[in-house]
Amino acid sequence: MTTTAATTKLPLRSEVPAEDCWDLSSLYENDEGWQADFDKVAGQIDRFETYQGRLGESVDTLLEFLTFDLEVDRVAERLGTYAFLRTSEDQGDSDHQARKLRFQNLVMKASQAASFVRPELLAIEPETMDKFLADPKLADFKLQLERIVRYRPHTLTDREERLLAMQGEMSGAAGNAFRQLNDADLKFGELTDENGRTIELSHATFSQFLQSPKREIRKAAFDQYYDVFDNHRNTLAATLAGSIQRDVYYARARNYESSLEASLFPDNVPTTVYDNLISAVRDSLPAVHHYLDVRRRKMGLTDLHHYDTYVPILSDVKKHHTWDQAVEVILESLAPLGSEYVGTLESGLRGRWSDRYPNRGKQSGAFSCGSFDGDPFILMNFKEEVLNDVFTLAHEAGHSMHSWYSASHQPFQYYNYTIFVAEVASTFNEQLLTAHLLEKATDDTERAYLINNELDGLRATVVRQTMFAEFEKRTHEMAEAGEPLTVASMRAAYRELLDAYFGPEFVVDEALELECFRIPHFYRAFYVYKYATGLSAAVALSRRVLGGGEAELNDYLDFLRGGCSQDPLDLLKGAGVDMTQPAAVKTTLDHFADLTKQLDELI
């Protein structure tokens, strides 16, 4: 950040030192290289037509097509990753936006050209398809084909599939509108922090203000932030409703019983896993309410508001990490995963896998974006005074190493692991980081600080994300039942959840109801529950690895190497945890309750 007089402002992208930015040369050296591959893929789209009506004629023809399709997909992934990452650097850069839109248009054309593939494959007589699958020539594509056959009840005619493919760009309009409004157009003004600095309030700095030890600053940030969302509540409600209606439309068009079933179908995850998660968390809400009461008492407050739940209870404990210090402590904590894991990650984090700090127009939050041919990149908005950002970096590093292992050990068609298992690898790293820091704690105050941080992490990832998951389920059920999705109806649904999850002694400010309109993940419905199931699995697996030996470690590394070569629930069973049962979620929430008791005794 640059400082002028008493005001601190985010730098322009052009002002950020190169060493703090990711190096995308593993994808493309420059935009010209991207354009060359773009033209290559664009020139291959017409070739899809040459296979139409022929996929069932012989094994050799099918193999030839699948090989061609794979080659196009591989280059397209590279193109899309580069376009996405460049746009993420600066949402306001029109050249980056244009490149991304051109790629999306290319994908739409390719999808239209290939829309015949699934219906044609599913039209092959089952006996013939069984013979194809038994042929050694198709061994590399057997699982891919079997997964397509699963979709037989949900695949339409050639013409209908083509019409759905033509809607691709249009169907993303609600999400695109939200992202432009949320990431580029919304302005939140400035605030003065506890040190007298005037800082621009943004998505990136909001969490920083909420961790201020001064309550009046936390409240001011909360009020000022949500005032902006209140001023745009009708637009935001319309975009969210549009996204939900899209999900319902596609689920019905493809003959699913619900949009939830449609979303879980690709992972072969039964809806009972989703429902078991909500039930298990609901059953444990008294423990969450107890923790919030402990927080209120230890902070010396007569009442507790949402803006009081992010600041450490022991606010006088300072935890400051430069980027290099954060990397060092993360690498130390991950030592149980072996030299290959740690050495590879060190090279990436000390090198230029990551785009480190906030800049004007940069996408908010953090993510990992791996691809088969490029480095597994990490976007951060790292702030040295926020301990949670060290955990965020460890989290995203887990995603990136998962990408690295799967791309190193699987062919392209089976390397890209699902989100369901991705959240295991990321939160597993957070568990190891917490264990390491607790082991190194020098006194009860530091230990209490870290336990508090772990509790807040569990609450945010298991409890909060489950609340989000329940909101998604409720709003989609409202749409499926023909109930209107309005500002009032969605706020009312969210308010009921806030009251239940935070408990009767918690003060739910009316403005907090607007939170349901600002969550980017809601535009990828039924995604957030995977954070909760992922952390629950990670708690179980981290204990297994730390308490085990070489066999347990290899089970976990095999899980990372597995990509999507098995269904996610089977990959997790191989690693040592069965997520079809609620045991892992209950164990995690019991762990939450035990930590709350420890915290209450320590301070």
Q: What is the DSSP letter of 257?
A: S
Amino acid (1-letter code) at residue 467: M
DSSP helix/strand/coil, 350: helix
Could you give phi then psi for residue 418, rounded to 5 degrees? -80, 160
- First-residue to last-residue Cα distance in the chain: 36
Closest CA to 518 of 364, 304, 400, 307: 364
Q: Are 10 and 75 in contact (CB under 8 A)?
A: no
In sign, the C-alpha dihedral spanning 146, 150, 153, 154 is: negative
Residues tagged active-site = 396
∠ Cα 548 550 554 (to 5°): 105
C-beta separation of 403 from 341 below 8 A = no
C-beta separation of 112 from 71 below 8 A:
no
Helices 487-502, 465-480: inter-axial angle, 10-degree rounding:
140
What's the burial of 284, exposed, middle or buried (CB within 10 Å: 0-12/13-18/19+)? buried
The residue with tokens 């094994």 is: 59
Q: Helix count (H) and strand count (E) of the chain?
A: 27, 9
Query: Cα torsion for 472, 380, 394, 551, to the nearest 10°?
Result: 80
